[in-house]
Amino acid sequence: NAGVMQNPRHLVRRRGQEARLRCSPMKGHSHVYWYRQLPEEGLKFMVYLQKENIIDESGMPKERFSAEFPKEGPSILRIQQVVRGDSAAYFCASSPLGLAGVNEQFFGPGTRLTVL
Amino acid sequence: GNSVTQMEGPVTLSEEAFLTINCTYTATGYPSLFWYVQYPGEGLQLLLKATKADDKGSNKGFEATYRKETTSFHLEKGSVQVSDSAVYFCALSRTGNQFYFGTGTSLTVIP
């Protein structure tokens, strides 16, 4: 069973460009989470999605950032008009359909975004 | 609210030394507690977890006990190896779908 896949692993953008980060959850997982890890900091929750629905976007910056998890295909985190402060590692995690008890989150290898 | 406070690093130990990384939490209700490990250049991997008070999670020689009375989940290992060098994150979840992570503790083990 393949794990959580993210691509690209490394992404370089110039200021003002758009960055699109992709995440394919583990097979059978319908919950996707995006986190951002700034240099020398911990993980900060950004957004939680289920198929075609945003469940919680309380950690997402109000401007320039958006996320989707369509019925078919990977989840996409989009950052428009990137700035240097967006340089970070972006991690995706997935978990299976909610059951009684607590589900583990399985993490992808991350996308390291560098804004020049 | 829900939050996790971890011991600040970095931590540097000699091989075979004893490791403790402190973690305390604040949560409403009864959360599940986790330790994740992040090796250089990689994503996070679950190391161990505990879902109720007094449970002990263990894996690869690491242990942590869920202490409700002290709201703690300290990570311990009796004898660290160079290969244990990584960043360790304490986390909690109440619903299974909302995780709260600590800031991470960097561990370096020197031969």
Q: Quick one: what percent of chain B has pLDDT higher than 70?
A: 97
For residue A34, is pLDDT > 90? yes
Q: Is A104 close to B104, i.e. CB distance below 8 A?
A: no
Percent of chain B with pLDDT over 90: 73
What pLDDT is stored for residue A99 in this prediction?
47
A54 touches chain B (CB under 8 A): no
In whole angstroms, what is the distance from residue B87 CA to residue B90 CA? Answer: 10
Report whether the peptide linkage leading into residue B111 is cis, meaning its omega lies within 30 degrees of zero: no
Least confident of A64-73, B17-26, B92-101, B102-111: B92-101
Q: Average pLDDT in the B85-90 region?
A: 95
Residue A42 to residue B101, Cβ atoms within 8 A: yes
Mean pLDDT, chain B, integer = 92
- Please report, in angstroms and rounded to a whole number, the separation of the first and last CA atoms in chain B: 41
Chain B CA closest to residue A92: B43
Give the pLDDT score at A100. Answer: 45
Question: What digits encode the pLDDT tens for the residues B19-70?
Answer: 999 999 999 888 999 999 999 878 889 999 999 999 999 999 999 999 999 9
Q: What is the pLDDT of residue B97?
A: 65
CA A102 to chain B, closest CA, distance in angstroms equals 4
- % pLDDT > 70, chain A: 92
Among the residue ranges A32-41, B45-54, B94-103, the one predicted with the least confidence is: B94-103
- Do the Cβ atoms of A45 and B44 come within 8 Å? no
Which pLDDT band holds residue A102 (cuts at 50, 70, 90)? low
Dump pLDDT digits (tens) for A44-55: 889 999 888 998
User: Residue B1: its chain A contacts at CB < 8 A?
Assistant: none
Peptide bond into A8 cis (omega under 30): yes
DSSP of B70-107: TTB--EEESS--GGG-EEEEEEEESSSS-EEE---EEE
> Please, are residues B106 and B10 in contact by the beta-carbon 8 Å criterion?
yes
